Structure 1
Amino acid sequence: MRSLERHRDVGAYALGVLDEADAFRFEDHLMECPRCAAHVTEFGPTTRQLMLYRRATPRVVHPMAQPGPRLLDRLLGEVSARHRARRRRLWYAVAASVVFAVAGSGIAMTMEGGKEPVRITATDERSGVWAQVTTEDEAWGSEVQLKVKDGAGPRACRLIAIGHDGSEQTVTNWNVPHHDARENTMHGSSAMHADQIARYELRTVDGEHLVTLESR
């Protein structure tokens, strides 16, 4: 595979449609190409929308079938519901801040419009890698934010979500800069909900284990 073709494969890799051999070669390319690593992360929103479409489509429907009005209504309804939930959380936070301002520090209360995000932090003594994962449930699965400090680059890495049933899903990919231990933040997603995830693992694309974050 020529260099230009590898650059062009970033979309196919991010969407998981490359075959195993091409995906393996592209992951080697990711270790040396920060631009492609950034593009893989940028494909996150598109991947999530396709995942939502897949979960909303019965298995008997051909994958290339055109979505009908009912599916479109359902997708729009879920998007609207997410926006309403976020607005509720914002108003609850504002109301809580007003109560605290009026009543002072003698009142302790929590107001939340949905499930609390799940946050896990861990440091691996062997690799020295520190990581923090914040997972927020959505209708189609979960949004994931990853923060990493890893001074052993350059290397290409991935975050893997491991379910209680042993299934694995790649949440996000990134490139560790050369000997840069500053905190880096990435975003990704999983089709699993937070309560279905047993743990997260950070690995290099070569399979080297860096750190494990156990769900509570």
Structure 2
Amino acid sequence: MSPRVEHTDVGAYALGLLEEDDRRAFSAHLSGCPSCTAELAELTGTAEALAGVEPVEGDDRTSGSRGEVVDLLRRKRAADRRARRGTFVIGVAAAAALVATGVAVGGTLSGGGATMPVHSAHGPAEEFYRRGNPIAGSGAPGVSGGVVLETKGWGTHAALELKGVRGPLECELVAVSRTGGRRVVTGWAVPEKGYGVPGSPEPLYVHGGTALSPADIDRFEVNTTSGRTLLVIDV
């Protein structure tokens, strides 16, 4: 085990496969590496969808499927630690395909694209949010949350905490510039049980990026795809 950091470790970090020393080293590396931070934002949805893989009840073929996927991904990381990012992503997709007929994945297809829950306890989004300085927002009745921002050479890295929402909903975090321009930072689905509510107390954590610099951003909005504004965060 070694705290040595390699750029290709971003996929293993997103999947939670790094050992503790490597995870801490790579977490520190993220704060100064725009390319790894952007790549991590792109991989988070896929990684957290796999983290939600569960056996389908009553189907004996799925016994041990989740453990087999994790073992497969660990072997993939060991074999391809120095491989290019594209190779790792193909490996993740292949692992998902292997269990697609025998497991239920926490994602839904709707309209013209795919949406999936991207909450993960103690995942990269939550870790980034908790080590930052949150800017609180004002929300619809019962809704609360905030964002943590990080200036990058390519723009702004943002992490959101959201509480007090029930689904089913499809939502987006939108950065609104001082000139009125709107950029979608990330999107997700809220299941019926919701986040940060009685019976489901854990908040939602998501993160993403925008080309706008923090100085160019007037506010962030959490909007549903049906046009309802859940939270406004002035920056």
Q: TM-score of the superposition, structure 1-length normalised?
A: 0.46
Whose Rg is larger?
1
Q: TM-score of the superposition, structure 2-length normalised?
A: 0.42
From the two aligned structures, give the one with the greater helix fraction: 1
